[in-house]
Amino acid sequence: MNMDTWSGVAQVILDGFNRHYRLFRQYSREGKECFERADWQRAAQVSRERIQGYERRVQETVKKINEVYPEAAQHSEIWPRIKMVFIGKLMNHLQSECAETFYNSVACRVLHREYYKSEYIFWRPAISTEHLEGSSPTYRSYYPGSDGLRRSLLEILTHFGLVNPFEHLRRDVRCLEQEILQNRSATWKAQPNFQIQVLDTLFFRNKGAHIVGRVINGESVQPFVVPLLQNGQGQVFADTLLIRQKEAAILFSFSRTYFLVDMEVPSAYVSFLLSIMPRKSVVDLYAMLGLQKQAKTLFYRQLQHHLTHSRDNFQVAPGVRGMVMLVFTLPSFQFVFKLIKDRFDPPKTSSRKDVQEKYLLVKHHDRAGRLADTLEYSNVAIPLDRIDPVLMQQLREEAASSIEIDGDMLVISHIYIERRMEPLDNYLAQATTNQRIRAIREYGNAIRDLAGANIFPGDMLKKNFGVTRLGRVVFYDYDEICYITECNFRRVPPARDYDDMMSDTPWYSVEEDDVFPETFGPFFFADAKDMQYFKKDHADLMDPAWWKQVKENILNGSQQDIFPYADKKRFRNRDCRPRMT
């Protein structure tokens, strides 16, 4: 085998990636067209197709290598040379970090179990992305100090070339101006570098288009995020301005992926977003931008780095033991690891395939800010000496088909990894009264938002919901999840006699898809005070009529507005008239 083989395989992989990213950008651009047409169903389909496209391109590339260069699969020793040739082809490539990940995906498929040999794959990035620049600037700068704040805001709103007219452009500019001025401190003073920098493309998700930027003044860097929505006539309006880090972090949370964004240089977008959300992980940001495979690569590198610089062991996760999933954690690492058990505890009757399909449903569906993003891996290797004996025993007893010992490593054939959150039941057990009231309200809001996104959680016990560091309540147990449109919401028929009322079993027939919201009370809260807090805002969640109306709206093509900010922040609920002087 010679240089022609090495170069040929490397070029096939690069061609496969270039095709993938060309289609990725095409889907992202279609997100703009869907927004302009208010075609929300197609927008959801575009998002799903974009996710599925990566795997298809990998399969196409592996097939071509096996057909044209069969020796590449038979002789693993040539892959370090293929890798070196590939690195040479990535010089000045604008998505080099993503191309390296694509190479890893292809190489692992061709080489099967050679995945953990770093000389064959990109264990660390080989090409720096720090100063990559595309054919046009990643962001544009506006100078309110010299051009005026209103003029700058007007230019920002009208730059993106949406075909939709604005509902009331002058009003939107006035609202944005007031929000900026009201958030300035009493000692605020314009510095020589005072400017607003805005990313060159819109971020599309659900029914919104988002202008994403930052306000720079001296050493201060603030988010500048403007959600654009449409009215019933297709006219666009600015809904609010998010100018605090927490507000931006909620919008771009791990429960709200994936945005449709047309990026020539994705690393430049990540760098920009980190400047306004410094506590965010690059893993979250790449996933939020729709590059979930890159997020997986970065996460695995972070895990390996953390293992090198820590000494605690993987152990069984605290909390109520799952009936379907075996969950463990590394206490010093903010994630949980979930395996599907070989056998499910009663009364669970679903299969491994059923559970995998539920997780796939969530991956392809709009998370509405209420479903945790999950990183799915195959053949994950963990050092045996970092596994607690109790956990090892559980793995052998409950998930033996998913594990294999290879030398000094435990190889897990299939695993899900999620951001660790405080289970809602644990949180409530330690919460103050005010924290408790807010969390209970958030719990109900989470169920509402999921319903609006056509998701019925199934098992609504509080242990299946988590509280994020920003105080949001998120659902993370997917084995009973289904579409609202698949459910038949019914009222409980009246009891026929005293025996019916005292019976432990229903006196009425129950089909597989039947749901009885009137019986949700015990799932929600057994404590009378907690139930009182819950009913104050969410009593209708125990009324079949509410659920039927949600289902009917979805079937009629209506899509609920789900905002990642408080209703009181919306400009429509505030007075943006000029102040009297």
- Whole-angstrom distance, CA of residue 77 vs CA of residue 429: 57
| Residue 499 annotated to the active site | no
CA-to-CA distance for 120 and 134, rounded, in angstroms?
A: 29
Give the other-Cβ count within 10 Å of 380's Cβ.
18
Residue 216 and residue 193: Cα distance in Å, rounded? 7
> CA angle at residue 412 from 64 to 343, to 5 degrees?
115
Q: How far apart are CA 560 and CA 128, in angstroms?
A: 42
Does residue 212 contact residue 241 with C-beta atoms inside 8 Å?
A: no
Q: Which of 419, 470, 471 is nearest to 441 (CA)?
A: 471
Token digits of residue 104 = 């890893």
Between CA 295 and CA 98 the distance in angstroms is 10
SS3 310: coil
Nearest-angstrom CA–CA distance, 483 and 358: 10
Catalytic residue (one of 200, 262, 366, 373): 373
- 265-283 in b/e form (b: 16+ CB < 10 A) is bbbbbbbbbeebbeebbbb
Do the Cβ atoms of 419 and 447 come closer than 8 Å?
Answer: no
Tokens 């590394």 — which residue?
Answer: 330
Q: What size, in residues, is the chain?
A: 581
Give just the sign of the alpha carbon dihedral 520, 525, 528, 529: negative
Calculate the alpha carbon distances from 372 to 5, 26, 278, 313, 355 in Å: 43, 27, 21, 24, 16
User: Which residues are known to be catalytic?
Assistant: 373
